[in-house]
């Protein structure tokens, strides 16, 4: 993927209006997600985002939102995370990328499923419990 102004635009949109995270689904697996949701009058931006990254699906909801979403684990691991780490996000999403990378490593580890669920749940709770100020302080500490 060429690092150009379009990629920078797409990553900026993801940093400002995106979601990077993971959730336990039906107590049987984890769903890793990178997505951007906008009002439907911004649908062109969502289609441009999909074209730039070349992956993901677009969903339109009845509440007037349109979402570009990547949930394929391999695409998140091999395309999205490396790209987001290369760009070095500056805001709260930088913290979410760090948490996602740790979650991906845990998910792929040889740890038992029950222990993975415990560790990933703790990681998710840790991420949710920190305030924006605490996350910013954590990021400042890393730089």
CATH number at residue 49: 3.10.28.10
104 Cβ contact partners less than 8 Å away, ≥ 6 residues apart? 32, 73, 76, 77, 81
Q: pTM for the whole thing?
A: 0.84
Give the structural domain span for 10. 5-142
Instruction: Domain count for the chain, please give it.
Output: 1
For the chain, 143 residues long, give each residue's pLDDT as a single digit of tens.
455 889 999 999 999 999 999 998 988 889 999 999 999 999 999 999 999 999 999 999 999 999 999 999 999 999 999 999 888 787 788 888 999 999 999 999 999 999 999 999 998 888 777 666 666 676 666 65
Q: CA-to-CA distance for 49 and 43, rounded, in angstroms? A: 10
């Amino acid at each position: 993927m060429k690092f150009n102004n379009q990629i920078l635009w797409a990553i900026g949109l993801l940093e400002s209006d995106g979601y990077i995270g993971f959730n336990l689904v039906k107590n049987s697996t984890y769903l890793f997600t990178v997505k951007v949701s906008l009002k439907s009058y911004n649908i062109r931006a969502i289609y441009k985002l999909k074209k730039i990254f070349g992956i993901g699906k677009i969903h339109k909801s009845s509440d007037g939102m349109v979402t570009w979403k990547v949930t394929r684990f391999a695409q998140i691991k091999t395309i999205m995370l490396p790209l987001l780490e290369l760009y070095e996000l500056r805001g709260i999403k930088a913290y979410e990328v760090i948490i996602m990378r740790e979650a991906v490593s845990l998910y792929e580890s040889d740890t038992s499923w029950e222990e993975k669920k415990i560790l990933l749940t703790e990681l998710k709770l840790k991420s949710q419990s920190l305030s924006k100020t605490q996350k910013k302080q954590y990021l400042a500490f890393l730089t």
